Amino acid sequence: MIYRQHARVLVQGMTGKQGSFWTEKMLACGTQVVAGVNPKRAGERHLGLPVYATARAAMAETPFDWAVMFIPPAAAREAALDAIEAGAKTVVILTEHIPARDVIAIHHAAARRGTRIVGPNTAGIVTPGEGFVGIMPGHNGNIFQPGEVGVISRSGSLGTLICLNLTRAGIGQSAFLGIGGDPMIGTTTRDALEALDRDAGTRAIVMVGEIGGSMEEEAAAYAAGMSKPVVSFIAGRASPPGKKMGHAGAIVSGAFGSYAGKRRALEAAGVAVADTPGEIPHLLNLPRPRPADPASLGRHPAG
């Protein structure tokens, strides 16, 4: 689920306003977008790329590995199933408010075909220095810089803030994995944690969680056996029990999914938990880049 620059990307809904805007940004960032889908504009070219009626038609002529969906909720099931049946290895579903029965059908088809689903309601994936897939500002060097810290987040906005804080502290990122805020997501916090644990380019991990559900507790059980350091921030500390806050999955019933319960589980697993996002760079305790020698500024290597 970590995007690599050699992976070819299909954009479903590429010709729309948002699809066009983010496709341009992805291309400029190095993402290998190869084609788009819009049944009404099949046979045309958009942003210099071919447009097909379906993902299956695209796969036959312009093979791809990933698909990303700029598709409204009512059409999301058809688009996702099209990408899955076409043979996409990973489908990034940006769409939120997809009917529950449609999400179930998507996950069932993905499990049958061995397709990785990221989302629904995700902001996408970023690999600084290689590219991004989705609607995260992976093209913005003030927010994302190549490095060795992997970041996991349900929330795109919180994930952006964390990466901004890391970059300002001189800490680059190996990958950002936006898992999504839907109640039924295809990639969990634990799935993302395992992927970053296996990634040779990731030295430490920041896990951004939220109240509600049990994903952070399940991730904590895995983190307990890791050698890579993990730091976490859990949003929703002041949220009242029984009230939905933020994402669709962020609802607390009694002690289940509570801030206190998640923090206890994480700290018991050896995960440092930040009280505020601004504390995360300090808790990582990674060596900072040495400041440049003023006497050397402006010099160029010999030869």
Residues catalogued as catalytic: 247
In 3D space, the residue among 81, 58, 57 whose CA is nearest the CA of residue 69 turns out to be 81
Instruction: Provide the token pair at 207.
Output: 């896990």
Supply φ then ψ for residue 183, to 5 degrees: -60, -25
- Write the CB contacts of 45 (distance below 8 Å, at least 6 apart in sequence): 51
Per-position b or e across 102-131, b if 16+ CB within 10 A of its CB:
bbeebbebbeeeebbbbbbbbbbbbbbbbb
The answer to whether 274 touches 231, Cβ cutoff 8 Å, is yes
- With tokens 């997809």, the residue in question is 98
- CA dist 220 and 192 (Å) reads 12
CA atoms within 13 A on the CB side of 84: 22
Instruction: Provide the token pair at 265.
Output: 């589980």
The answer to whether 151 touches 231, Cβ cutoff 8 Å, is no
Supply φ then ψ for residue 47, to 5 degrees: 55, 30
- Write the CB contacts of 99 (distance below 8 Å, at least 6 apart in sequence): 73, 77
Cβ neighbour number for residue 298 with a 10 Å cutoff: 6
Cβ neighbour number for residue 25 with a 10 Å cutoff: 18
SS3 call for 9: strand
Cα distance from N-terminal residue to C-terminal residue, the chain: 41
H helix count then E strand count, the chain: 9, 14
Whether the bond between 120 and the residue before it is cis, its omega within 30 degrees of 0, is yes
